């Protein structure tokens, strides 16, 4: 993990947030290649789950939202983590994390989700768990902290009332359900997708962007009439779509993935089934993507709190239906961390990110063989101008060719094009493949179609 974090910083994927002012815990900024990778993952998710499906539409809800949304959804009362403080060194931890880490150090698995603060206190005391920072046992009692960020609206304090930064994108889908039904041609079963920032005031144990206080969430609420559509096969269809996306679209290795069913204690009381797709991160198998059958819990809650009719009329039978939902919910930043971890390889003479080409921040890098030969540089600029309108293309004339290859390998660029003296004679260039390091010669006029074909396969 340390190596991945170091490469991510060194090469411009992920920087610590507010770094020049000493950093701000659990925040990160994305650098030039990180921003590209993040955008590519978001676009691929949208393309696969919204654009390619006739039964899906997308929305983009606001980040600041009415406090009543979060009261109705249950977040104000119940969206809390159990925290504990070390009285000696003042470090703060999530109680479940220090317990789980304590057991995993003994090669035992312990799931403490759903336990009360009293039960967590008892485990910490019985196991004599020490502070990971100072090694002392001087704990406060375990307490619950709400994760929502309140925002004071209005220029004068108290004027505009209270809102919240959204703690998940899902609630905005439920609160816009009526609007989407009334303004589009959707018919059950159908899904509403949303991709955007969510905010949670989390205490996290590091691990880069795995868990942050601000993150990009991509969620779908798939609405259906439980009398017409059986939930079990629908649930399996979504599981399959998630598997296909991660393995085929993001190019992640199957053997690093597994599914885990939530225990009765950890599953929300309204959910009929919840499973997590987990990825084998360098710090262990961890939740990547949740899939939950949430019944009609959310629409019922908003219907009752808002006193608005959120039912939909079946055009055939005129029956009023309050749809149920299946919800696949994932964090794009977590997908990005997985992509980096899965692609990272150390070979004898190089470190290389074998990111699937469609996701790679740059698809092509263009090099003039020598930076001090004007005609080579001018020709390389022409090749850059040919490729860059179609593909993210890097241009590099610093250092020697070997070093340029190595730096492109570290950011996962699949192909490097070199303009050499033969190019000036016959308008051909060499293309070096990131994964095989083999080179082939190709005419400049065929470059666009060459990369188009490669990126289609």
Asked if 379 and 419 count as a contact pair (C-beta separation under 8 A), the reply is yes
Residues in region 311-330 near ligand GAP by CB under 6 A: 327, 329-330
* Among the listed residues 289, 293, 384, 451, the single contact to ligand GAP using CB under 6 A: 289
- How many Å apart are CA 58 and CA 108, to the nearest integer? 42
Q: Write each residue from 218 to 257 as x if it is in contact with ligand GAP (CB under 6 A), else as -, in one continuous string.
A: -x--------------------------------------
Query: Would you say 172 or 387 has its CB closer to ligand GAP?
Result: 172
Query: Would you say 219 or 275 has its CB closer to ligand GAP?
Result: 219
Query: Segment contacting ligand GAP (CB under 6 A): 178-186, 211-219, 236-244, 395-403?
Result: 211-219
Residues touching ligand GAP, count (CB under 6 A) = 19
- How many Å apart are CA 223 and CA 237, to the nearest integer? 14
Assess 170 for contact with ligand GAP (CB under 6 A): yes
Asked if 428 and 443 count as a contact pair (C-beta separation under 8 A), the reply is yes
> What pairs with residue 187 in β-bridges?
none
Q: Is 171 helix (H, G, I), strand (E, B) or coil?
A: helix
Query: Segment contacting ligand GAP (CB under 6 A): 13-21, 67-75, 138-146, 288-296?
Result: 288-296
Query: Would you say 333 or 407 has its CB closer to ligand GAP?
Result: 333
Assess 211 for contact with ligand GAP (CB under 6 A): yes
Assess 217 for contact with ligand GAP (CB under 6 A): yes
Query: Would you say 333 or 418 has its CB closer to ligand GAP?
Result: 333
Residues 6+ apart with CB under 8 A from 388: none
Q: Is 16 helix (H, G, I), strand (E, B) or coil?
A: strand
What is the end-to-end Cα distance of the chain in Å, rounded?
Answer: 31
- How many Å apart are CA 32 and CA 14, to the nearest integer? 9
Phi, psi of 228 (to 5 degrees): -105, -35
Query: Would you say 131 or 277 has its CB closer to ligand GAP?
Result: 277
Assess 215 for contact with ligand GAP (CB under 6 A): yes
Asked if 4 and 344 count as a contact pair (C-beta separation under 8 A), the reply is yes
Phi, psi of 151 (to 5 degrees): -130, 135
Query: Would you say 219 or 409 has its CB closer to ligand GAP?
Result: 219
Token reading at 79: 């969206």
For residue 21, CA distances in Å to 24, 199, 215 come to: 8, 22, 21
Assess 41 for contact with ligand GAP (CB under 6 A): no
Q: How far is the CB of 218 from ligand GAP (least distance, A)?
A: 8
Query: Would you say 66 or 454 has its CB closer to ligand GAP?
Result: 66
Asked if 356 and 407 count as a contact pair (C-beta separation under 8 A), the reply is no
Q: How far is the CB of 288 from ligand GAP (least distance, A)?
A: 6
Q: Locate tokens 């241009």: which residue?
A: 395
Radius of gyration of the chain (CA): 25
Query: Would you say 217 or 407 has its CB closer to ligand GAP?
Result: 217
* Among the listed residues 266, 287, 314, 390, the single contact to ligand GAP using CB under 6 A: 287
Q: Write each residue from 171 to 210 as x if it is in contact with ligand GAP (CB under 6 A), else as -, in one continuous string.
A: -----------------------------x-x--------
> What pairs with residue 393 in β-bridges?
364
Task: Please give the residue ranges that form the binding site for ligand GAP (CB under 6 A).
Answer: 168, 170, 200, 202, 211-212, 215, 217, 219, 287-290, 327, 329-331, 333-334
């Amino acid at each position: 993990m340390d190596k991945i974090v170091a490469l991510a910083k060194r090469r411009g994927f992920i920087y610590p947030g507010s770094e020049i002012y000493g950093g701000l815990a659990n925040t990160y900024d994305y650098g030039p290649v990180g921003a590209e990778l993040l955008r590519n993952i978001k676009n691929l998710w949208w393309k696969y789950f919204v654009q390619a499906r006739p039964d899906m539409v997308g929305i983009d809800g606001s980040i600041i939202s009415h406090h009543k949304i979060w009261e109705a959804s249950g977040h104000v009362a119940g969206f809390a983590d159990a925290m504990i403080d070390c009285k000696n060194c003042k470090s703060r931890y999530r109680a479940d994390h220090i317990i789980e880490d304590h057991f995993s150090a003994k090669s035992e698995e312990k799931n403490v989700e759903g336990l009360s603060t009293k039960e967590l206190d008892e485990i910490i005391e019985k196991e004599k768990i020490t502070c990971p920072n100072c090694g002392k046992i001087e704990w406060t009692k375990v307490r619950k902290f709400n994760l929502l960020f309140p925002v004071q609206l209005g220029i004068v304090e108290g004027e505009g009332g209270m809102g919240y930064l959204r703690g998940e994108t899902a609630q905005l889908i439920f609160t816009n359900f009526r609007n989407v039904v009334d303004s589009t041609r959707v018919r059950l079963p159908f899904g509403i997708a949303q991709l955007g920032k969510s905010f949670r005031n989390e205490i996290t144990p590091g691990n880069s962007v795995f868990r942050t206080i601000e993150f990009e969430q991509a969620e779908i609420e798939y609405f259906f009439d439980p009398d017409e559509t059986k939930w079990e096969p629908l649930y399996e269809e979504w599981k399959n779509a998630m598997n296909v996306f991660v393995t085929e679209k993001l190019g992640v290795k199957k053997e690093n993935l597994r599914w885990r069913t939530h225990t009765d204690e950890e599953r929300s009381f309204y959910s009929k089934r919840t499973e997590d797709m987990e990825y084998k991160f360098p710090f262990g198998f961890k939740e990547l993507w949740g899939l939950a059958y949430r019944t009609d819990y959310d629409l019922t809650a908003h219907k009752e709190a808002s006193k608005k009719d959120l039912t939909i009329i079946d055009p055939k039978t005129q029956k009023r239906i309050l749809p149920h939902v299946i919800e696949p919910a994932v964090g794009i930043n977590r997908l990005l961390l997985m992509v980096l971890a899965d692609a990272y390889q150390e070979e004898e003479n190089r470190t290389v990110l074998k990111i699937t080409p469609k996701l790679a921040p740059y698809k092509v890098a263009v090099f003039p063989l020598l930076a001090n030969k004007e005609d080579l540089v001018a020709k390389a600029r022409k090749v850059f101008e040919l490729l860059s309108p179609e593909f993210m293309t890097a241009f590099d004339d610093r250092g020697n060719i070997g070093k340029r290859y190595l730096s492109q390998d570290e950011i996962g660029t699949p192909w490097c094009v070199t303009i050499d003296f033969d190019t000036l004679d016959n308008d051909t260039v060499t293309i070096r493949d990131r994964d095989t390091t083999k080179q082939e010669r190709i005419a400049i006029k065929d470059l666009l179609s060459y990369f188009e074909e490669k990126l289609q396969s």
